[in-house]
Structure 1
Amino acid sequence: MTKQLVSELVRETGIDGAGVAVFATASTRDLVYASDGVAEEIDETQFTLGEGPCLDAFRFDNPELHDDISGGAARARWPLFAAQVLGFGTARVYAYPLGGGGSPFGVLELYGSSPAVLAAHEDVTCRLFAHKIARAVLAELAPGNVLSSGSDAGVFRRGNVNVACGILAAYHKISVDEAMVRLRARAFSRQRRITAIAQGVIAGDRFDTDKWQGGMSRDVVCG
């Protein structure tokens, strides 16, 4: 149902693609669906850098609407994120929190390949679909239902990142938050996906040769 709703939303608005992320904490989440590779990359970039409209939409429970990501406001708030996504050919990004009657539990992420104003009726449509998608995700995550990757492109879990954090935390006797910082720093410095770095940890990499040269300050990595 989530995939179907996202597809309908893309068809009914001027956006080019979308993703749906479900959060465990303010910095830990699973991407449950991405309509295409660009949507996946945008989400991955925010997760790796710890900054971006998706994170702020969740943290502050408020939509983030940016018609031109190269504009001063967006670049000032998220300089690393803006630079990265512009390189993907992305010009505008929107994020709507997904709520279930209380605090948000996820975010609907949207992007466009050219700068354009999101029309008022499109904003209304996005908010309506965010409500529908929130209900669909809750139903899919309910006990008895298994959220699996299956064969659909863009549908996957990011649980291996959480597992990798636990392994690093135990091995180096550090907190899980510090383990996440090290994962992000290595992903950023090596220009690799954090999921790929996490898979390496699960396979045996413990970062023993690292001397904390992540290429980002701790404040940037933590978001």
Structure 2
Amino acid sequence: MSLRRALADCVELAGADGGGLTLVGRGGTTVPVCASDESSDRLGELQAALGEGPAVDALDSGGPVLAPDLASTWVRERWPRFTAEALRLGRRAAFGLPIRSGTTILGVLDLYREQPGPMAERACADASTCAEAALAIVAGDGGLSDRHAEVLQAAGVISVQLDVNVGEAMARLRAFAYRRGRSPADVARDVLERRLRFTHRMDDI
């Protein structure tokens, strides 16, 4: 089974309209590895760049984060930039479900709906179980896409250039991409092809 097919099954089990998977790597680095559609991909990358959203909170808390109505006041106040973009993309509910192996959090499953409303407890459990299988594909046989692999590789290069850990390098790459309206994959390609070198003097990173 492909990673995208496994994710599609997660989305279907949850009765959602879209979803994404984020993997936790060494040093706590988070990498969105797959999305069911363009909007979910955008929201996964945005959460990683901004450090806000249901996936971020699910990883921090270790528990599910459920936002059945993204237009509600508490959600807008907690994740102002994420919520604005999600609503612009037609998403009205978002859910972040941590994926565990024992006590270790392997990643998080993001689920999105076009209509507000809660997600049933059984649907959450079924989707999480399915997501565990999806992350096993990533760990087992190269489920990580070329695009996301390039981002990880570029973060390694940046960590050497700046003498920082890979997690910090990843954060700087994402911030650079976000502030220029580019995708992390595009910036990563520039780094790997030596068109861009990160320095501490880059004042907007």
- TM-score, L = length of structure 2: 0.84
Distance in 2 (CA, whole Å) between partners of 1:209 and 1:173 is 10
Q: Secondary structure at 1:158's aligned position in 2?
A: helix
Compute the TM-score of the two structures, normalised by the length of structure 1.
0.78
Equivalent positions of 1:124-203 (< 5 A) are: 124-138=122-136, 141-142=139-140, 145-147=141-143, 149=145, 158-203=148-193
Identical counterparts, % of pairs: 30
User: Across the two proteins, how many residue pairs are aligned to each other?
Assistant: 202
Q: CA deviation at 1:62?
A: 0.6
- Within a 5 Å distance, the mapping from 1:99-114 to structure 2 comes to 99-114=100-115
Whether the 8 Å contact between 1:92 and 1:112 is mirrored in structure 2 is yes
Q: Secondary structure at the match of 1:109?
A: strand
Any gaps of 5 or more consecutive residues in structure 2?
A: none
Counterpart of 1:35 in structure 2 is 36
Q: CA deviation at 1:41?
A: 1.0
Stretches of structure 1 lacking an aligned partner (at least 5 in a row)? 150-155, 215-223
Q: Give, as a single letter, the amino acid of the residue that structure 2 aligns with 1:135.
A: A
Q: Is the 8 A contact 1:58 1:105 kept in 2?
A: no
Say what the alpha-carbon RMSD is for the aligned residues. 2.5
In 1, Cα distance between the equivalents of 2:170 and 2:96?
Answer: 23
Offset at residue 89 of structure 1 (A) = 1.9
Give the stretch that moved more between structures: 183-192 or 18-27: 18-27
Q: After the TM superposition, list the runs of 4 or more consecutive aligned residues in structure 1 that deviate by more than 6 angstroms.
A: none
Distance of 2:166 and 2:73 partners within structure 1 = 34
Say which SS state the counterpart of residue 18 (structure 1) adopts.
strand
1:139-166 deviations in whole A, cap 9, x for unaligned? 5523xx33254xxxxxx55232232222
Distance 1:161 1:113 in 2: 29
Change in 2 beyond 3 A, CA 1:180/1:138: closer
